[in-house]
Structure 1
């Protein structure tokens, strides 16, 4: 068994991987994904933070590769041609980002309900707004979560703790704690007209790309708020900008965009009913140690011939 691992994690990984898989050979690649030795016999690759083209080139150098681990939940930019063309097992890091992202969703919700932006700007202006500000409660408000994976479930738990009613969708339609109604497939569309908050937490796949467009926005209530912490390409950005500009919906909290970084001239920056954040909802000092612990546990399982955690269906895209 030979593993190719990121040099950037060597201090944290080496001893733990050797303990999990005694006798394994280790090779390392630098920040440009350049291996430090011959890698023709590598059967395990841990990807780190480089682009899809670089991943494709690295995998092409690994004819014996059998297992690829990805340090994120979304696998859309890891399903490169070199990976799809071969029988390579893929695992992801689904679940490690659930807590910070779910907390970030509640930041958007509370910011909108309690008008935090207005209150902070009035503080900066030393202006006492008093009862002029219109505040809302979260109790009994309906949150629709599109995608009840580990992140969606973590969002549901936190929304329920605030007294919100939660409805969500998942492929299986199986029950989820804290979710009063679970909808299968595309049945979430029938709830758009009832939801106070609509949260997109689905993976980016050929089926979800562009699935939230003008028709879905038109089905939302004018006082409803859209939150996207999944992938920007799931939402038709032009339709969203139009809906926000015309006041068709109350506003949006957006952490992901079709183009990242979001260009300075992009109209979303200037819309007063949009909370733009720079794809940081997943950030936490706990992410790195969780990523390493998950990978090391899977190395132990791989060496022992046990089933791995977080196996991805690369044809489904998650």
Structure 2
């Protein structure tokens, strides 16, 4: 009798492999990033953890035995969602794994812009001793968190250490701890003028595509900073550039872009009121550990017990 199979398209440490084997001792576990490792199993595998290039042709094949796909990322906008839904494949994401590292990056960007760290780093390279008109501080300011999921909640919690007023946006509009006022997405125009910092942590969906453009930047306080660690497609990039160059907003901290890598021709590289990071806000030494122990293994236990994986279950109708 053929063993049931799970493919994990990632390089894992042996202790993590052993943790997974304890849950499914009778299964065949295939682990590795290279296509040569998983390709021969792709059609008869029951579970795949980690999306990678080349999987689509197997996952969407009518003869595929795939039942459940666990992504290795929080975002699922790069997956063939319509095809997966049509085939009835259960999809779960890695949402929540990034809460600590991304919230740290958010505050690094906010503090960097506020205290002009990026300007001083440039000055250091030219041995320039200059005040750079330092004067702002973060304490007692107002931050708007656009997307109060796991990352947004952790960001709100950290903001309270700076005695900040926290405004939040979530689809339900329901209150969340550490958030002083909650809004819905169609109330952005009410929230934006109140903020000294606007932090975007939204997933990219049909509803959030190009959500931030000239109109939204014009609604912001001209002294406010814009932080985007969600997805680049949420922002109309050329309109952001214009807002930064014309002083419509004070500055931006950007980890994501419409097209990645960011083109060398992009004006964003040269703007002095911008800090750029190369889509690394979620990078952390603890990524695999958190994903495996907090998401994959609990979901796997539910699956082999005859239930459905429920942690980070993706709603195809919402796109996240």
What is the TM-score when the length of structure 1 is the normalising length? 0.91
> 2:270 maps to what in 1?
270
- Asked if structure 1 preserves the Cα contact closer than 8 Å seen for 2:10 and 2:50, the reply is no
> 1:174 maps to what in 2?
174
Gap runs ≥5 in structure 1:
none
> 1:281 maps to what in 2?
281
Q: Partner of 1:186: helix, strand, or coil? A: helix
How far 1:13 moved relative to its partner?
4.4
Between the aligned partners of 1:28 and 1:137, the Cα distance in structure 2 is 48
User: Are residues 1:219 and 2:215 paired?
Assistant: no
**Which shows bigger deviation, 213-222 or 75-84?**
75-84
Q: Partner of 2:12: helix, strand, or coil? A: helix
Between the aligned partners of 2:315 and 2:271, the Cα distance in structure 1 is 38
- Asked if structure 1 preserves the Cα contact closer than 8 Å seen for 2:11 and 2:31, the reply is no
**Which shows bigger deviation, 208-217 or 55-64?**
55-64
Between the aligned partners of 2:176 and 2:282, the Cα distance in structure 1 is 22
Alignment of 1:110-259 (within 5 A): 110-129=111-130, 133-259=133-259
Between the aligned partners of 1:38 and 1:238, the Cα distance in structure 2 is 44
> 2:319 maps to what in 1?
317
How far 1:262 moved relative to its partner?
0.5
Q: Partner of 1:9: helix, strand, or coil? A: coil
Q: Partner of 1:233: helix, strand, or coil? A: helix
> 1:66 maps to what in 2?
67
> 1:16 maps to what in 2?
19
Between the aligned partners of 1:206 and 1:256, the Cα distance in structure 2 is 17
How far 1:155 moved relative to its partner?
1.1
Tell me the C-alpha RMSD between the 2 structures.
2.1
Q: Please list the CA deviations of residues 83-109 of structure 1 after superposition, one character each: whole Å capped at 9, or x if unmatched.
A: 132101111111111111001110111
Q: Partner of 1:166: helix, strand, or coil? A: strand
Q: Please list the CA deviations of residues 114-168 of structure 1 after superposition, one character each: whole Å capped at 9, or x if unmatched.
A: 11123334444444435x6322121221100110011111111111211111000
How far 1:191 moved relative to its partner?
1.3
User: Are residues 1:42 and 2:41 paired?
Assistant: no
Between the aligned partners of 2:273 and 2:42, the Cα distance in structure 1 is 51
Between the aligned partners of 1:58 and 1:258, the Cα distance in structure 2 is 28
Q: Structure 1 residues 143, 63: closer, same or farther in 2, change over 3 A?
A: same
> 1:26 maps to what in 2?
29
Aligned pair partner of 1:5 in 8, 11, 18: 8
Q: How many residues align?
A: 314
Q: Structure 1 residues 15, 122: closer, same or farther in 2, change over 3 A?
A: closer
**Which shows bigger deviation, 232-241 or 120-129?**
120-129
> 1:104 maps to what in 2?
105
- Asked if structure 2 preserves the Cα contact closer than 8 Å seen for 1:101 and 1:281, the reply is yes
**Which shows bigger deviation, 158-167 or 15-24?**
15-24
- Asked if structure 1 preserves the Cα contact closer than 8 Å seen for 2:101 and 2:284, the reply is yes
> 1:290 maps to what in 2?
290
- Asked if structure 2 preserves the Cα contact closer than 8 Å seen for 1:79 and 1:314, the reply is no
Gap runs ≥5 in structure 2:
none
How far 1:37 moved relative to its partner?
3.8
Q: Structure 1 residues 281, 189: closer, same or farther in 2, change over 3 A?
A: same
